[in-house]
Amino acid sequence: MTELENPLLEGLRLRRRPEPCAVVIFGASGDLTQRKLFPALYALAARRLLPEEFGIVGVARTEQTSKQWAAAMEKAVKAHARDEFDRETWGSIAEGMYYVATDFADDEGQDAVVACLNKLDEERGTAGNRLYYLAVPPAAFRTIVNELGERRGSEGWTRLIVEKPFGHDHASAQELNAALLQHFREDEVFRIDHYLGKETVQNMLALRFANGIFEPIWNRQFIDHVQITVAESLGVEGRAAFYERAGAIRDIFQNHLLQLVALTAMEPPIDFTADSVRNEKVKVLRSLHTPGPKSVVRGQYGRGFIEGEEVPGYREEEGVAPDSTTDTFVAAKLYVDNWRWADTPFYVRAGKRLPRRETTIAIQFQRAPHPPFAEIAGDGLRPNVLLIHVQPDEGVALAIGAKVPGQGMSIRTVHMNFLYGGAFRAGLPEAYERLILDAMLGDATLFTRADEVDEQWSLVDTIVAAWRRDRPVFPNYEAGTWGPRSADELVHRDGRSWRRH
Amino acid sequence: MQEQLDELREHEAATGSPTQRTSVMTHVAWAPPEWVDTARRTLAGLEERHPSRTILLFPEPKKPDAIQTTVSMQCFAMPGVSHDVCSEVIELRLGGERVHAPASIVQPLLIADLPTFLRWRGEPPWGAPELDQLAGVCDRLVIDSSEWSRPKVSYAELARFFDRIAVSDIAWGRGRAWRGRLAELWPGIAKLEKLSVTGPRADALLLAGWLRARLKRDVELVHRSGDELTRVAVDGEAVRPPLGPAPTASDLLSAELDDFGRDPVYEAALRAAAA
């Protein structure tokens, strides 16, 4: 009998719950595991979204016992989880936790991981299903993938979540893909971009495709331009070794920013399955016109003030070379060369030590063609802007012109606000909760496919190649400002300006 | 009332932290005197999850003909949101004859274009004008048949409302996790003869009705009274209980407020329970 024939399931609306499985975290003592992965697993357990037959194996180089590791993770959950700590919930996770201290290349260590998994199959009924999470530096990917491939069992399913950065350039990303596909099928590989797990990013799809009013005007005829900002007020925060090699272009532009462009510009998918959504996104990435040198700006912050406190310049940060030419800011004017978006600029910018943390997508519409009161309305007559706040204060606002009460016809811009946390249940799920659950369920819709990664790197490689030909004068913006002057000029040349709020 | 609400909003704006008024529905609750405290308690756990304009109707037929109103704003800090989110609560004490014309009082207060849920505490007075009127202006009637003294008899009355208004029963919601457990027993459960349930009478009736309707066979119900659903057995064999604590009254009402359309599975279960 199949589930479909079970008459008791009709109308039951059971929550999506994964099959029995074991999660194996490589990099189990690292920051990501403590700050994001365990709090996410705990939140899933608290909502009873984990399978009853479940276990976790942690793998890292740090010497410690399973008991010590479990205690460290309990502490991490208490510090970072969005729910209050509940001993019973934690117990449901902790009783199926094992830790293996090993070098990733060590055969004996990897055999010990397999032994733990077999034990979980026997004790907890995890049925040979494995979700591997590679929360490790990219240099370790290949070793782990080979070890996993060689030890792959014949029972159950195997899935692999790979953290960003996925490669350092197009060539390394392709090599990594080839290594993965030697042992795993594409539908077993889940390349994570945690931005896609954010409710507000997914809400972009709902906003566009579940409402009749937006899609007819979502094109070059009605939209003047799009601005996407991914701003951080933090500096490198102990990630200098990584950041020196990556810069803003690889850390944010190559993945988060280009994914936001793809979601904003994509055509409606035929359905919400993984391949339909990703087919449409990759079409946008393929349509991106390679920007010329004048359409890309890079910057690096110097000393400045953030929230009243003086902060050092990038070159003064610990672990950063005093003559570093790493970009901490990137802005670009992109064009999506297709029927819908021809000649409509997408201005994008991302940077560190900007005045505040915010990620927004601003859709600026064309001005009203002939407002009858243009002369008397004064400066208040501005174009409409649909503002999607990805973080913080998640929600959507529409800027419209409204008459100021009283005599005359003064117009003032006002915001119609939809505040996500206000209209729906308290506490939006963290991106990692959604993404880990989706991977357990085998749903890859919110993960990036190999061809998307390819297209993203192709664009970045071209930009970086142009940068190699010149020597930037860094630092070129003060911490606590919105980037270098050239970023403003990039937009001013077109008679526009960045949103300042 | 509208003026009082406007004043409250101005006051919030002038004195408090930045606030945002948000509503995803109008929530009308009919609470006879014996249900007033319970209704308020449930509401306290609900507003954060379903920001709404809440209209609490307290019928007081023995009091003089009058309407007494109390208007308040309830504001909540939301995690990750810099604004407080505020909802409006309007309490109306309907005295004397006003009890019998609630729709005309409620209608001007409903928020246009948003769904209206009517939570009726206790057993509705079948055939009474207040029930008919409110059912006529609301989109969904939410009841808890475990609050009724003779649920099996009253189910037939409730079934007559199905074509007029979508109905949610909190007793049905309470059994959801157990229904999930019973569904896991398929196909072994296909030939079920006897269902034993320890818990509220209504919950047991609905569980048995559901199995009769879905399995299309007669199922004998053996019921033992209890405040909560604690045990279900199939032909003498205990069913593994659902994980975690039982949902609270606010959780249950909140879950019902997420539903908008009719629930044909519930309707069939209720009819089978009444048969």
B76/B188 same-domain check: no
Any domain includes B196: yes
B98/B186 same-domain check: no
B11/B117 same-domain check: yes
Hey, what are A144's tokens?
């782990």
Segments forming the whole domain that contains residue B230: 174-244+263-274
Peptide bond into A475 cis (omega under 30): yes
Mean pLDDT of B122-139: 91
Any domain includes B151: no
CB-CB under 8 Å, B85 with A422: yes
Tell me, what's the pLDDT at A3? Answer: 47
Alpha helices in B72-200 (DSSP H): 102-106, 129-137, 151-159, 170-174, 176-183
Q: How far apart are the first and last CA of chain B?
A: 46
**Strand B66-77 with B84-95, pairing:** antiparallel
Between B62 and B42, name the one with better pLDDT: B62
Q: What is the pLDDT along chain A (501 residues), one digit of tens a residue?
A: 444 588 998 888 666 789 999 999 999 998 899 999 999 999 999 888 899 899 999 999 999 999 999 999 999 999 999 888 999 899 999 999 999 998 887 888 888 999 999 999 999 999 999 999 999 888 888 889 988 888 887 789 999 999 888 889 999 999 999 999 999 999 999 999 888 888 888 888 889 999 999 999 999 999 999 999 999 999 988 888 889 999 999 999 999 999 999 999 999 999 888 899 999 999 999 999 999 989 999 999 999 998 888 999 999 999 999 999 999 999 999 999 999 999 999 999 999 999 989 999 999 999 888 777 766 666 667 889 999 988 887 888 898 888 877 777 777 778 887 777 666 655 677 889 999 999 999 999 999 999 999 999 999 999 999 998 888 899 999 999 999 999 999 999 999 999 875
Tell me, what's the pLDDT at B18? Answer: 54
Tell me, what's the pLDDT at B45? Answer: 62
Provide the pLDDT confidence category of residue B80 given band limits of 50, 70 and 90. low
In whole angstroms, give the CA distance from residue B62 to residue B82: 47
Long-range Cβ pairs for the range B237-241 (8 Å, 24+): B239/B178, B239/B181, B239/B182, B239/B185, B240/B181, B241/B178, B241/B181
CB-CB under 8 Å, A421 with B85: yes
3-state class of A234 per DSSP?
coil
Which residues lie across from B162 on neighbouring strands? none
Name chain A contacts of B187, Cβ cutoff 8 Å. Answer: 1, 6
Residue whose entry in the numeric block shows the structure tokens 């006003």: B98
B6/B132 same-domain check: yes
Choosing from B92, B110, B138, the residue where a domain stops is B138
Question: Which residue of A7, A14, A394 is in closest CB contact with B180?
Answer: A14
Provide the pLDDT confidence category of residue B57 given band limits of 50, 70 and 90. very high
Would you tell me which residues 198-237 of chain B have a C-beta closer than 8 angstroms to some C-beta of chain A?
211, 214-216
B115/B204 same-domain check: no
Packing angle between helix A431-441 and helix A38-46, nearest 10 degrees?
70
B219/B114 same-domain check: no
Q: How far is B47 from chain A (nearest CA, A)?
A: 9
B72/B183 same-domain check: no
Q: How far is A399 from chain B (nearest CA, A)?
A: 16
Provide the pLDDT confidence category of residue B245 given band limits of 50, 70 and 90. confident
Any domain includes B148: no
Contact B118, B110 (CB under 8 A): no
Question: ipTM of this predicted complex?
Answer: 0.81
Label residue A27 left, alpha or beta by phi (over 0 means left) and psi (-120 to 50 means alpha).
Answer: left
B133/B180 same-domain check: no
Contact A448, A184 (CB under 8 A): no
Cβ contacts from A onto B, under 8 A: 81
Going along A163-290, which residue ranges are E strands? 189-191, 223-231
Between A500 and B27, name the one with better pLDDT: B27
Which residues are CB-neighbours of B82 under 8 A, at least 6 positions away?
A392, A393, B18
Which residues are CB-neighbours of B185 under 8 A, at least 6 positions away?
B234, B239
> Which of B12, B17, B19, B20 should we substitute to test contact with A (largest number of A Cβ atoms within 10 Å)?
B20
Which residues are CB-neighbours of B245 under 8 A, at least 6 positions away?
none
Any domain includes B219: yes
Hey, what are A354's tokens?
């900007």
Any domain includes B105: yes
Choosing from B112, B138, B164, the residue where a domain stops is B138
Please tell me which residue of chain B has the smallest CA distance to A10.
B265
B119/B186 same-domain check: no
Which residues lie across from A358 on neighbouring strands? A231
Contact B78, B87 (CB under 8 A): no
Residue A329 CA from chain centroid, whole number: 18
Any domain includes B168: no
Hey, what are A319's tokens?
């672990």
B69/B127 same-domain check: yes
What is the torsion angle, in degrees rounded to the nearest 10, for the CA atoms of residue B142, residue B145, residue B149 and residue B153? Answer: 100
Q: Is A48 exposed, middle or buried (0-12, 13-18, 19+ CB in 10 A)?
A: middle
Packing angle between helix A66-80 and helix A87-94, nearest 10 degrees?
140
Residue B9 CA from chain centroid, whole number: 29
Which residues lie across from A191 on neighbouring strands? A162, A448
Any domain includes B164: no
Any domain includes B43: yes
Residue whose entry in the numeric block shows the structure tokens 């005295």: B95
Packing angle between helix A450-467 and helix A258-265, nearest 10 degrees?
120
Please tell me which residue of chain B has the smallest CA distance to A50.
B243
Q: pTM to 2 decimals?
A: 0.80
Please tell me which residue of chain A has the smallest CA distance to B24.
A423
Long-range Cβ pairs for the range B99-103 (8 Å, 24+): B99/B59, B99/B60, B99/B61, B99/B130, B100/B128, B100/B129, B100/B130, B101/B129, B101/B130, B101/B133, B102/B30, B102/B57, B102/B59, B102/B130, B102/B133, B102/B134, B103/B133, B103/B134, B103/B136, B103/B137
Question: What is the tally of structural domains in chain B?
Answer: 2
Average pLDDT, chain B: 86
Provide the pLDDT confidence category of residue B50 given band limits of 50, 70 and 90. confident
Tell me, what's the pLDDT at A394? Answer: 80
3-state class of A428 per DSSP?
coil
B131/B19 same-domain check: yes
B119/B178 same-domain check: no
In whole angstroms, give the CA distance from residue B105 to residue B67: 9
Angle at A134 between CA A130 and CA A135, to 5 degrees: 130
In whole angstroms, give the CA distance from residue A160 to residue A183: 11
